[in-house]
Amino acid sequence: MTLYAGACFYYTIRMFRTHEVKDLPSVEIGTKVTLAGWVHRRRDHGPLIFIDLRNRRDLVQVVIREKDFSATEQEGLKEAIRPETVVQIQGTIQARKPGNENPNIATGKIEVIAEKVVIINSAATPPFVLDDPSVVVGEDIRMKYRYLDLRRERLQKNLLLRHEVVRAMRQYLIVRDFIEIETPYLSKSTPEGARDYLVPSRFQPGKFYALPQSPQQYKQLLMVAGLEKYFQIVRCFRDEDTRGDRQPEFTQLDIEMSFVEQEDILKLIEEMYIHLVKTVTPEKHITFQPFKRLSSAEAMSKYGTDKPDLRENKEDPNELAFAFILDFPMFEKKDDGSLGAVHHPFTRPRVNNVEELKITDPLAVLAEQYDFVLNGYEIGGGSMRTHDPKMLQAVFEILGHSPDDVQAQFGHLLEAFRYGVPPHGGIAPGIDRFVMILANEPNIREVIAFPKTGDGRDLMMDAPSSISEQQIKELHLRIIK
């Protein structure tokens, strides 16, 4: 047996590993293998040391026999082989003795007899227990050491589930002739609901970019560009109060289609989510097929909310009650008495023409808007868009924007509409909330790799943080304390 410290590693063994742990059950007994990973657990039994070697979410038992070590190597192992240490093992696969198998892991019928051990990097004692899910750890400490929290089985499973959901979404849409297109993160601040996150421009003093609350205008411009079927797994940013199902930055599946009506979009989403559940979480069952449809007025009257939980048994974690909420008002009265758009100003009002819109009480106008809800959460929303420039101009006027304001805020979109815009609409289901529900987690922080705390801080990176006086000067800013 040979033990090497990390400093000697690059001069001793050139190949990190010949196999991953997950592949070992199919490898022939007696095969020599090279493995690398983390020490998950260590157990000392007299002349034998047993370690569970971990690759991502897979474990294999490694047996280190004292008789294979010199006295010096034995002392080195006692000090070096600690939980979470990164090691490389060269050894031989053998079958476990009858009665010693572990049915709880995929490699439970085999073990690896170590012949060479390399300590790639030793680990300090973690600030909380990683291998016992029953141990309750405070959220602040988990967020500060998120890279350790992510080693735990719960988080690994959640991120794998998220990966499978996103992959299935992509595959479903690509097969149906959708094109995945990225849109900018540095954009223009426009009044669309929540506060924008602003980014000062160094080259244009006093001017700012905004991080997108959604790619709303870009995806409509892609329809003007003739792409017809667009999607994107996109990050969005909103400077609003956080809660269990909300973060300053979140991820959504963004979809836009040309030459369609509302029914086409609802049918696409219904068929896709039935496919997602069957493909990714077949243990789940869907309460209503086709999905339930309710008007917003009916939902409020029956359930007191426009995102009702329609499960037949709310104690059943595997029940999924999808529904579409339809027939929302186009406008609503804000706290200051002015009118605002319930969804956004690009939503198509349910009227025949501009003249009808102008003579109708704005609060009586319905919108071609739809929400997508699941188990008491809104997991998506969308609308048919106004493609008539005159109708869009009229909506802006009802919302109280002067012609100059409209031109300053949305002139680029109105200009684009002058060159032939198709009828179009879209929807943006949230990925974080959907995965949260599938994983039976209490909040979306458990399905996001690096989330923010409830007050919007990143404890691991210590953000937001101060910037240097030089940076402040370069950006032409002045901090008011």
CATH number of the domain that residue 26 is part of: 2.40.50.140
Residues 200 and 75 in one domain: no
- Mean pLDDT, residues 20-32 taken together: 96
247 residue type, one letter? Q
Mean pLDDT of 196-211: 94
Higher-confidence residue: 455 or 426?
426
Which of 1-10, 282-291, 315-324 comes out lowest in average pLDDT? 1-10
Task: Tell me the mean pLDDT in the region 153-162.
Answer: 96
Identify the band that residue 8 occupies on the pLDDT scale cut at 50, 70 and 90. very low
Same domain, 101 and 185: no
More confident residue, 338 or 463: 463
Q: Residue 244's beta-bridge partner residues?
A: none
Strand partners, 208: 200
Count other Cβ atoms within 10 Å, centred on residue 112: 26
Residue 10 is predicted with a pLDDT of 47
Q: Is residue 70 domain-shared with residue 151, that is, in the same domain?
A: no
Do 447 and 298 fall into the same domain?
yes
Note the pLDDT of residue 421.
Answer: 95
Q: How confident is the model at residue 7 (pLDDT cuts 50, 70, 90)?
A: very low
Q: Is 465 helix (H, G, I), strand (E, B) or coil?
A: coil
Name the band, by pLDDT with cuts 50, 70 and 90, for residue 254: very high
Element (DSSP H or E) covering residue 147: helix 146-149
For residue range 121-152, list pLDDT tens digits in order. Answer: 999 999 999 988 889 999 999 999 999 999 99
Q: Over pLDDT 70: what percentage of the chain?
A: 96
Any idea which residue has 């008002």 for tokens? Answer: 329
| Confidence label for 14 from pLDDT (cuts 50, 70 and 90) | low
Residue type, 306: D
pLDDT category of residue 240 using cuts at 50, 70 and 90: confident
Does residue 302 belong to any structural domain of this protein? yes
- Nearest Cα neighbor of 349 from 305, 304, 393 is 393
Residue owning tokens 């993160």: 185
Is cis: bond before 200, omega within 30 of 0? no
Residue 317 CA to residue 439 CA, distance in Å, equals 9
Of the listed ranges 12-26, 322-336, 351-365, the one predicted with least confidence: 12-26
Which token pair is 15? 């190949």
Structural domain including 207 reads 146-328+367-387+422-470
Work out the angle at residue 351's Cα, subtended by the Cα atoms of residues 260 and 252, and round it to the nearest 5 degrees. 45
DSSP 3-state of 393: helix
Looking at the fold, whether 154 and 287 belong to one and the same domain comes out as yes
Once rounded to an integer, what is the mean pLDDT over residues 30-35?
A: 97
- Closest C-alpha among 393, 373, 372 to residue 383: 372
pLDDT at 317 (0 to 100): 92
What are phi and psi for residue 327, nearest 5 degrees? 60, 50
The residue-averaged pLDDT of 365-383 equals 96
108's tokens? 């439970």
Phi/psi at 58 (5° precision): -110, 145
Same-domain check for residues 164 and 295: yes
pLDDT at 1 over 90: no
Residues 160 and 272 in one domain: yes
Q: Do 151 and 63 fall into the same domain?
A: no
pLDDT of residue 419: 94
Q: Are residues 287 and 181 in the same domain?
A: yes
Domains held by the chain: number: 2
Reported confidence tier of residue 5, pLDDT bands at 50, 70, 90: low
Amino acid at 359: I
- Could you say which of 72, 105, 121 is where a domain stops? 121
- Mean predicted confidence (pLDDT) in 395-421: 89
Distances (CA, A) of 267 to 263, 273, 313, 331: 6, 10, 26, 26
Q: Is residue 106 part of a domain?
A: yes
Say if residue 404's pLDDT is above 90. Answer: no
Q: Are residues 80 and 193 in the same domain?
A: no
Residue 447 has pLDDT above 80, yes or no: yes
127 in any annotated domain: no
Tokens of 102: 């572990």
Which CATH number covers residue 208? Answer: 3.30.930.10
Does residue 115 have a pLDDT over 70?
A: yes
- Distance from C-alpha of 101 to C-alpha of 65, rounded to nearest angstrom: 19
Q: Are 180 and 317 part of one and the same domain? A: yes
Determine the pLDDT at residue 9: 44
Last residue of a domain, one of 71, 86, 121: 121
Per-chain mean pLDDT for the chain: 92
- 449 dihedral zone (left: phi>0; alpha: psi -120 to 50; beta): alpha
Q: Is residue 430 part of a domain?
A: yes
Q: How confident is the model at residue 193 (pLDDT cuts 50, 70, 90)?
A: low
Judge contact between 211 and 259, C-beta under 8 A.
no
The mean pLDDT of 161-190, rounded to a whole number, is 96
What is the mean predicted confidence (pLDDT) over 46-53? 93
- Please identify which residue in the block is written with the tokens 């690994």: 156
**DSSP bridge partners of 424:** 258
Which of the four pLDDT bands, split at 50, 70 and 90, describes residue 4? low
Which whole number is the average pLDDT over 240-258? 89
CA 349 to mean position of chain CA atoms: 32
388-392 contact pairs (CB < 8 A, 24+): 388/354, 389/414, 389/417, 389/418, 389/421, 390/354, 391/348, 391/349, 391/353, 391/354, 391/357, 392/345, 392/346, 392/417
